[in-house]
Chain A
Amino acid sequence: MSAVQTAPTTGRSRLTLREIVLVVVLGVVFGFLYWVFVQAWNALAIAMGPAGDLAQHVLFGSWLLVGPIALAILRRPGVGILAEMLAAIIEVVFLGSPVGPLLVLSAALQGIGSELPFALTRYRRFGWGVFAASGALGAGLVFFWTAYRMGWYGQDLLALRLGMQVLSGIVLGGLLARVIVRALERTGVLANFAIGTAAQADGIPQRHVR
């Protein structure tokens, strides 16, 4: 008789199809939700009048969410970058993003920034500080590329833009991600991913037979 006790794996180098599909689904849902909430974005842009261009920095962090959420659930190297890039592919191929394919490059930079703090803690720490750092770096790193792409260098507002974007990254792209992950964990839908395995380190109990 053989005995197998397996949890969905965390150690192997290759992602399982379940993990890939989860990352895709996160990208799809957040793509859809961004689109639903884009009205809020537009309202904010109009409310800010001539500074409407700046509104994008206030909400920038929300674009980062997928990376840290996927990392916290799957706890695997590269997942943050992959999540951002797949989300960008979904934006470009399915939703016809007006940014075009270069969005994938931006997404990769965001992903690298978001993933760095998790990588530095070797995917073992998921506290507020790590999430905040993830949001800050995710927003900060890509800023310089976007600034080039959008011609922000030479404007008076460069520092203000950077400040707003990093702050948004910390709040919406870092701390909010942790709030969402914790709430998802409570619902039990993550039980069969790495995050659930970590929470149930004591294994599977004796069978109840009454």
Chain B
Amino acid sequence: MSAETRAVQEEAASTRPVASLPGTSGGPSDASTPAAPVVEAQDLEVVLPSGSGVGPWTGMIRAGEQVLLLGPSGSGKSTLLRALAGAIPSHQRARVTGTLRVGGSDPLGGGVLATSEVAGFLGQDPADGVCLPQVADDVALPLESRCTPPVQIGPRVREVLAAAGIGALGARTAATLSGGQLQRAGLAAAVAARPRLLLLDEPTAMLDADGVAAVRDAVTTATAATADGGVAAVLVEHRLDDWAGERGVAGLPPRTIALGAFGQVLADGPTREVLTRHGAALREAGCWLPREVEEEFEDAADAALEVERGSDADSGPELAGGPDVETAPAWTGRRRTAVEPAGVVPESAEPLLTVRRADLGHGDRPVLTGVDLTVRAGQLLAVVGRNGAGKSTLLGALSRLDPPQAGEIDGAPAGLVFQRPEAQFVADTVAGELAASGGEPAQVTAMLSRLGLEEQRETSPFTLSGGQQRRLSIGAMLLAERPVLLADEPGYGLDRAASRTVLALLREVADAGRGVVIATHDLRTVQTADAVAVIADGQLHPPIAPPGLLRDQGLLRRAGLVPGSGAGGIPGEDPSIGPRSGHGVPETAATPSPSAAGAASAIPSRTDRQAPESPPRGWLARRNPTVLLGLLTALSIVCITLTDPAPLVLLYGLLSVGAMLGCRIGLRRLLRAQVPFAVFASGVLMVNVLSRPGHEPWPDLPIRVTEEGIVLGAALALRALVIGLGALIVARATDPRRTLVSLRQHARLPARYAYALLAGRRLLDDLPRRWETITRAHRVRLPLTGDGQVARLRPRHLLRCAFSLLVDAIRSADRIAFALESRGLGDGPRTLWRPVPLGAADVLLALGVAVVVTSVLILA
């Protein structure tokens, strides 16, 4: 260890509150410590290839202990969490020194698989929370990995799903769940095998207030439910206030480990004590703190505002006395952010964008009706609403990606900064990204320095940090010279410092005379706006001053800014809306816009079969998929040896009958599904007729047509039709889960491959949505057409989109592999909850097909 790091460690030790230090030498024999340690670290230090690192950390976490891991971006919170989960260095290159034991296993040497016996993990992106297509299978996976007897798996799956509050969703495909539901399903999978340690890496980053409350409650249930000392948990969370809920700091985990900007351990002790003693340093480093702690700093810094708060509190009826004073946003009237509202923009300011009585949405179903909105120069407008309420629909309309279904929108298309900046990157370098917006070299240089990205000029935009990416995205939009700038969740995933920088930049843009509209579900962002418009119940409410909204608890609830929806469920959890995720435009997931029709029309036709209401039907659908695939293989081999059309015609006829009876497909549907095969087959016939030498029955024709060509061409075309029809039948009679489970059972496909492929299927279901987001994001980057419309993507733009999708998917691959391993997926022995039967009927089918095909070959 270098002298430098030792110094840091000493500093860390000296700042640690001694009384609460959870003993470095303590063990089960220590009388004062009732619970056994789950995590024991000695001088644990992780250094990443970038040179940033975390630690050294010496300490332990005992059974049942709840720990908050606090620190600014780049302090290594996630790195430390991933190290505890065993992902470092097995999944991620790093130099690790010191020792770490998690429940008796060594995460550093044993990797995620070894640690999975003790620890469950939940990450921030709902899209990755569930990694198999069907929710129940995903929850069952860790149980199968632990060789739980199959009869016990079903009850346990139902139990954990119910405990997570989603008992009814086990049979659903993950693609039909909302973000909050996905995160709870991911949590159910993480706790199914009764881990002793739960690792939570910003599990609520993408949820609205109700989603946060639901996930938090599920975590509380999961960590409290066991009798044997309880489940320890380590939580990394930016949204401390949403997590803590009404209990304030008391609602946070009782113990906090605080990391400094460079990964050194600042403090480890009771949460309130750590926040009191080190809050200033943490805040200075850019870390979010609970609101009430921030207030203490504000109070100390600026007592003069006290009077203002008092008058504001009096004016809000909900705040009048009672024990709830603490819980209501008593800070409403206070201006405590660096980015101060500039005051109400006068009605006389130039209107840049006007929406009149517009109905907005995709497809035939309007998401928002009767929208009236004026965006004025110099105005910073916030739009709030639950996940799926229509924020993104509004932004899509204002940016003119989607025409209004009724009414009109006046003004030039607005620029739009997407929630995930990566979806919008079109160039290889940071400078190129700005140049792609039409910036001259001098403008690019000036913008780089304004964004603080001079050093990153030549690096790939994909390698930037979250805050840098967001700034770059905004900068690129600014150079595109659109009068109005829209930003979807600009503070998402950012720490305090980065978030303030981004908001300050947006304020600057407004002050320079443009209009800015921010869609958000973050209360602090709302405070910085000049006005805020609430979307609820399919309506856009007229903009009001932020303090007015913040005083109105009812409206705050309807806007999804504080938890608590009325009776009858959570509107924001409407499953038809699709997951709220970083990739997304949730409203568009269900009903794709015409612009992405290319992407979203055929995959759904495959997912139709997956939806609960239309499972595969018919006798063949109950047969063993391995048998079906084997029969199709055999049939294909027979077909490619045939050069005579007659038996192929017979086979085609028999297969058609088999399809209609065995899969219950109507004739029309069957024929329609074969149109592409027919086009291909007719091409095959044509080429053979024209290009095969031989006897010419009609020598007078201007082109050469041969008998051999006709016969062989017909046979080859029929081959394609027969095999195509066979493939169609098998596709209709099987579903991916049964096929892969059966291949595992009956064709010895290794479990790791079978489940990796199933996870691939889950990703495939998600790709149309991601593709649509990316293509929309790229369209916004294009220069407008001559008549001021948003341009269409040309082939080279589509190739860029394809590359973005590939980068995004490779990032997902990392998370999928981690999730699967943390569910214990390895080569070891495992049980199977719902095996696919192989029975007499399958033998009968195989024999029947063999007899029929042989008869055809003999007869024809």
Interface residues in chain A, defined as those with a beta carbon under 8 Å from any beta carbon in chain B: 1-8, 16-18, 20-22, 24-29, 31-33, 35-37, 39-40, 45, 50-54, 86, 89-90, 92-102, 148-151, 154-157, 180, 183-184, 186-192, 196-197, 200, 203-210
Q: Given contacts A102-B636, A157-B691, are A28 and B49 in contact (CB under 8 A)?
A: no
Closest chain B CB from A171 CB (angstroms): 14
Closest chain B CB from A157 CB (angstroms): 5
Q: Given contacts A98-B720, A154-B692, A208-B52, are A4 and B89 in contact (CB under 8 A)?
A: yes
Closest chain A CB from B665 CB (angstroms): 13
List 12 additional contacts besides A90-B757, A101-B632; criterion CB under 8 Å: A20-B753, A21-B759, A21-B820, A36-B598, A99-B727, A150-B684, A150-B716, A156-B693, A184-B806, A189-B810, A192-B93, A192-B814
* Contact B2 A96, beta carbon cutoff 8 Å: no
* Contact A188 B462, beta carbon cutoff 8 Å: yes
- Chain B minimum-CB-distance residue to A3: B97
* Contact A100 B814, beta carbon cutoff 8 Å: no
* Contact A151 B810, beta carbon cutoff 8 Å: no
Closest chain A CB from B598 CB (angstroms): 6
Which are the 9 A-B pairs with shortest beta-carbon distances?
Answer: A96-B731, A187-B462, A98-B724, A6-B89, A25-B813, A21-B817, A53-B687, A18-B817, A24-B760
* Contact B94 A204, beta carbon cutoff 8 Å: yes
Contacts of A210 in B (CB 8 A): 262
Measured in the bound complex, the distance between the Cα atoms of B75 and A209 in whole Å is 11
* Contact A204 B49, beta carbon cutoff 8 Å: yes
Measured in the bound complex, the distance between the Cα atoms of B153 and A97 in whole Å is 35
Within 8 A of A (CB), among B599-613: 599, 602-603, 606
Closest chain B CB from A112 CB (angstroms): 19
Contacts of A90 in B (CB 8 A): 757, 760, 764
* Contact B4 A186, beta carbon cutoff 8 Å: no
* Contact B91 A192, beta carbon cutoff 8 Å: yes
- Chain B minimum-CB-distance residue to A52: B683
Contacts of B811 in A (CB 8 A): 189
- Chain B minimum-CB-distance residue to A18: B817
Contacts of A154 in B (CB 8 A): 692-693, 708, 712
Closest chain A CB from B766 CB (angstroms): 10
* Contact A92 B763, beta carbon cutoff 8 Å: no
Contacts of A209 in B (CB 8 A): 4-5, 8, 53, 262-264
**Could you show 10 A-B contacts with beta carbons less than 8 Å apart?**
A1-B43, A3-B96, A4-B108, A7-B89, A21-B759, A26-B810, A53-B687, A151-B719, A155-B692, A209-B5
Measured in the bound complex, the distance between the Cα atoms of B118 and A51 in whole Å is 62
Within 8 A of A (CB), among B40-83: 42-43, 45, 47-49, 51-53
- Chain A minimum-CB-distance residue to B820: A17
* Contact A89 B757, beta carbon cutoff 8 Å: yes
Closest chain B CB from A122 CB (angstroms): 23
Q: Which of B51, B723, B756, B802 touches A208 (beta carbons < 8 Å)?
A: B51
B661 is an interface residue with CB less than 8 A from chain A: no
Interface residues in chain B, defined as those with a beta carbon under 8 Å from any beta carbon in chain A: 2, 4-5, 8, 42-43, 45, 47-49, 51-53, 89-99, 108-109, 262-264, 428, 460, 462-463, 598-599, 602-603, 606, 629, 632-633, 636-637, 640, 643, 676-677, 680, 683-684, 686-688, 690-693, 708, 712, 715-716, 719-720, 723-724, 726-728, 730-731, 734, 736, 739-740, 752-753, 756-757, 759-761, 763-764, 767-768, 771, 795, 798, 802-803, 805-807, 809-814, 816-818, 820-821, 825-826
Measured in the bound complex, the distance between the Cα atoms of B93 and A203 in whole Å is 9
Measured in the bound complex, the distance between the Cα atoms of B91 and A94 in whole Å is 28
- Chain A minimum-CB-distance residue to B643: A151
Closest chain B CB from A136 CB (angstroms): 23
Closest chain B CB from A101 CB (angstroms): 4
* Contact B462 A189, beta carbon cutoff 8 Å: yes
Closest chain A CB from B7 CB (angstroms): 9
Q: Which of A3, A6, A26, A35 touches B93 (beta carbons < 8 Å)?
A: A6
Closest chain B CB from A27 CB (angstroms): 7
* Contact A50 B687, beta carbon cutoff 8 Å: yes
Measured in the bound complex, the distance between the Cα atoms of B245 and A7 in whole Å is 41
- Chain A minimum-CB-distance residue to B689: A50
Closest chain A CB from B694 CB (angstroms): 9
* Contact B814 A99, beta carbon cutoff 8 Å: no
Q: Given contacts A8-B93, A155-B691, A188-B460, are A94 and B606 in contact (CB under 8 A)?
A: yes
Contacts of B643 in A (CB 8 A): 151
Measured in the bound complex, the distance between the Cα atoms of B152 and A127 in whole Å is 54
Measured in the bound complex, the distance between the Cα atoms of B596 and A36 in whole Å is 10
Contacts of B761 in A (CB 8 A): 28, 94
* Contact A98 B723, beta carbon cutoff 8 Å: yes
Q: Given contacts A7-B89, A96-B727, are A155 and B756 in contact (CB under 8 A)?
A: no
Q: Which of B757, B764, B809 touches A86 (beta carbons < 8 Å)?
A: B757
* Contact A205 B727, beta carbon cutoff 8 Å: no
Measured in the bound complex, the distance between the Cα atoms of B92 and A197 in whole Å is 10
* Contact A17 B98, beta carbon cutoff 8 Å: no
Contacts of B49 in A (CB 8 A): 191, 200, 204-205
Measured in the bound complex, the distance between the Cα atoms of B743 and A90 in whole Å is 13
* Contact A93 B740, beta carbon cutoff 8 Å: yes
Closest chain A CB from B610 CB (angstroms): 11
Q: Which of A16, A17, A96, A157 touches B606 (beta carbons < 8 Å)?
A: A96
* Contact A17 B720, beta carbon cutoff 8 Å: no
Best-buried of A6, A99, A184 by chain B (most CB within 10 Å): A6
Measured in the bound complex, the distance between the Cα atoms of B812 and A52 in whole Å is 37
* Contact B52 A28, beta carbon cutoff 8 Å: no
Contacts of A208 in B (CB 8 A): 51-53, 262
Best-buried of B49, B632, B692, B720 by chain A (most CB within 10 Å): B49
* Contact A205 B51, beta carbon cutoff 8 Å: yes
Q: Which of A21, A96, A186, A204 touches B428 (beta carbons < 8 Å)?
A: A186
Q: Which of B684, B736, B798 touches A94 (beta carbons < 8 Å)?
A: B736
- Chain B minimum-CB-distance residue to A98: B724
* Contact A93 B736, beta carbon cutoff 8 Å: yes
Measured in the bound complex, the distance between the Cα atoms of B807 and A90 in whole Å is 20
Measured in the bound complex, the distance between the Cα atoms of B629 and A37 in whole Å is 27
- Chain A minimum-CB-distance residue to B428: A186
* Contact B728 A1, beta carbon cutoff 8 Å: no
* Contact B94 A32, beta carbon cutoff 8 Å: no
Contacts of B740 in A (CB 8 A): 93
Measured in the bound complex, the distance between the Cα atoms of B636 and A48 in whole Å is 29
Contacts of B263 in A (CB 8 A): 209
Contacts of A92 in B (CB 8 A): 629, 727
Q: Which of A40, A102, A206 touches B2 (beta carbons < 8 Å)?
A: A206
* Contact A189 B807, beta carbon cutoff 8 Å: yes
Measured in the bound complex, the distance between the Cα atoms of B746 and A46 in whole Å is 43
Contacts of B94 in A (CB 8 A): 5-6, 204
Q: Which of A5, A8, A149 touches B91 (beta carbons < 8 Å)?
A: A8
- Chain A minimum-CB-distance residue to B684: A53
Q: Which of A29, A97, A100 touches B806 (beta carbons < 8 Å)?
A: A29
- Chain B minimum-CB-distance residue to A157: B691
* Contact B686 A183, beta carbon cutoff 8 Å: no
* Contact A102 B637, beta carbon cutoff 8 Å: yes
* Contact A24 B756, beta carbon cutoff 8 Å: yes
- Chain B minimum-CB-distance residue to A203: B95
Contacts of A184 in B (CB 8 A): 806-807, 810
Contacts of A155 in B (CB 8 A): 687-688, 691-692
Best-buried of A21, A37, A208 by chain B (most CB within 10 Å): A21
- Chain A minimum-CB-distance residue to B724: A98
Q: Given contacts A7-B89, A53-B686, A100-B727, are A22 and B817 in contact (CB under 8 A)?
A: yes
* Contact A20 B752, beta carbon cutoff 8 Å: yes
Contacts of B708 in A (CB 8 A): 154
Measured in the bound complex, the distance between the Cα atoms of B719 and A98 in whole Å is 11
* Contact A32 B731, beta carbon cutoff 8 Å: no
Q: Given contacts A21-B759, A98-B724, A99-B723, are A7 and B684 in contact (CB under 8 A)?
A: no
Measured in the bound complex, the distance between the Cα atoms of B804 and A184 in whole Å is 10
* Contact A17 B687, beta carbon cutoff 8 Å: no
- Chain A minimum-CB-distance residue to B771: A36
- Chain B minimum-CB-distance residue to A95: B606
Best-buried of A90, A150, A192 by chain B (most CB within 10 Å): A192
